[in-house]
Each structure stands twice: as structure tokens, then as C-alpha cells.
Amino acid sequence: MEETLVQVKDLRTYYPIKGGLLNRRVADLKAVNGVSLDIPTGQTFGLVGESGCGKSTFGRSLLRLQKVTSGEVIIDGENILSLDRAGLMKARKDMQIIFQDPYGSLNPRMTVREIVREPLDTHKIGAKADRNGEVMRLLEVCGLRQTVADRYPHEFSGGQRQRVGIARALALKPKFIVADEPVSALDVSVQSQILNLIGDLQEEFGISFLFISHDLAVVQHISHEVGVMYFGKLVERAPAEELYSSPKHPYTKTLLEAIPQPDPTRNRTEVLVGGDIPSHLDPPKGCPFQPRCPVAMPECAEREPELKPVDSDDCSSRHQVSCWLY
């Protein structure tokens, strides 16, 4: 039986919206509004949605890089949200993040050797004299030649910089990595190299990943399970194969239709969903997708559907959807 490494229960991350003469809190921007999911050891959960849907805030909230309003995040049996400073520092060893922009996240004044070695020094991993050897091993694992160790980030291509970011994330032998749009800033040809590297590392080291992307095509081959996020909530989740072969939610279907066919004249990042994500200051009544939904029914504007198993006779089904059509 699969062991669960990451368990998220009803996570909420709200940002206060201030206004008025006294600049008081007048509303909340509910960036993450009650998301629950679990990720088994050694598996990847692909989290997809348009920009502004809350997926990056969700990833950062799991690692406590973002203040959380309520909920639980249990990683390897420990509730991350209730840890004190020392406990969090210890737990951070097991959970890392890979950012979208490797250039912005690598200190331009540090060499690659210093960047990859820094977490080993901070957490005092291994004997000092052995850390250099470990840096070389990590560079090799990530497909970089050892001769690049004394170069600076600006001397590399985007793909190489992302390899350095991955080497640094691996330095502490994490059990869980949040990869936040790790390939969206890269050329398509380099994207597949980085995706293959992440897939290989997962197989070799049994790491669990939350892989965040705006593009369903990117997470397709790397994910065991996929969740689609809209307006701060999961609107559909399913084992990857099932989601791509039998999508249920109208939003998921539209995102899948937006995956470009091999046609150089079409923009890969273009998402063909009509209208905009609703305003958090004036959220729609009922289903949040209702103002954009091509198959909305009158009841959709009245009540908000919950995320439920598609097959109502099988409560344990991992294919869940929040839509009144099911």
C-alpha cells in the first residue's frame, strides 16, 4: 500500500484587503480557500491552473514561505504549521522548492560551488572537508560538468541555471520538493530535458513532488495525479491518465482544449478560456466558474458545488470534481 508523505487538510491562505480612510481590513483575498490533498511517497502531484488561481501561494504555504490563515499541512507525520522556529528549521531540510526563475533565485555574487554548498554549511551536513566532494556529486547528478563549479550564474543558459537550482534543492536529500513552474521560463527543447531530469531524480531518490504549472501539457507525463485549481479551490483531481482521457469539469476540458497542437503559429502559453478570473472583491454567487462556463445552468448561480467523487457509489474514488453536472 502507498504511504502518504504529504497531507494537506482544508488549507486557507487569505490576504487582507485594506481600504477606507483608516486603511482598515475591508475584505479578504482568498488566494487559497480550503484545499485538501495528499501526495504518496515518491509520487508527483501536478497542480494546474491559470495565473492568479492561487497555485503558487498554495505551494509556498505548504513550506511556510507564506503565512497561512488556517488548515493543516502534515509532512512525514509532522504538522508543519504548528512548528516553532527551531522545529521549522529542522523540518526545512526535508522540504525544498525549485523556483520558476532560476536566475532570480540564485545569488549572482556566488559561484555555483558556493550556491550548492550553502545548504550543507547552514545545516552542518557531513564533515566540512567532505562537502566539496558532495557538491561535485550533486552537479554530476544534475548533468553539469564539475568544471563549471567556479562559474557564476550569469555565465549559464536558463536550462543550466535551473540544473544548478535543482542541485541546490537536492543538497539536503529532501523528501518533498515544491517545483513552482520550473520550466515555464525555458525554451521548449530545454523544458523536456529538465522534465526528464526531475523524473529521473524522483525515480532514483524516491522524492515526492508538488509540480505547479499553468500548462496541463507540461505536467502530463511527470504526474501520477493531477489537480486543477480555480479561484483558490481544487475543482477537479484525478489520477493523471484518467484526467487526460476523461476530464469532467468544464474548466479542465477548456484547459485541455487549449493545449496547442504542433503548430508554430500558436502561442503555447495562451489559455483559451473566455473571460477573466472573477474579482475577489466581488466573488460570483454559486459556482465561481459560472460567469465563464459554457454549460452553466440556473442552479449554478445559486449554490456552490463541493469537490466530490465522480462515481457517487465509490467514496474512495480519487477522481473528484466540483460541478453540478455530476
Q: Is 290 in the site for ligand SF4 (CB under 6 A)?
A: yes
Which of 75, 218, 228, 300 is in the footprint of ligand SF4 by CB under 6 A? 300
- Minimum distance between the CB of residue 315 and ligand SF4, rounded to whole angstroms? 21
As given in the structure block, the three cell numbers for residue 51 are: 495565473
134-138 long-range contacts, Cβ below 8 Å, gap at least 24? 134/171, 135/167, 135/171, 138/167, 138/168, 138/170, 138/171
Q: Name which of 56 and 322 has its Cβ closer to ligand SF4.
A: 322
Say whether residue 103 binds ligand SF4 (CB under 6 A): no
What character string, x for contact with ligand SF4 (CB under 6 A) and - otherwise, covers 238-277?
-----------xx---------------------------
Residue 287 binds to ligand SF4 (criterion: CB under 6 A): yes
Of 166, 289, 310, 320, the one binding ligand SF4 (CB under 6 A) is 289
C-alpha dist (Å) from residue 53 to 32, 195, 198, 278: 8, 23, 24, 10
Shortest approach of ligand SF4 to residue 293 CB, angstroms? 3
Binding mask 166-195 for ligand SF4 (x = CB under 6 A): ------------------------------
Verify binding: residue 293, ligand SF4, rule CB under 6 A: yes
Between 46 and 250, CB nearer to ligand SF4: 250
Please tell me the count of residues contacting ligand SF4 according to CB under 6 A.
14
Which residues of this chain interact with ligand SF4, rule CB under 6 A?
Answer: 249-250, 287, 289-290, 293, 295-297, 300, 305, 323-325
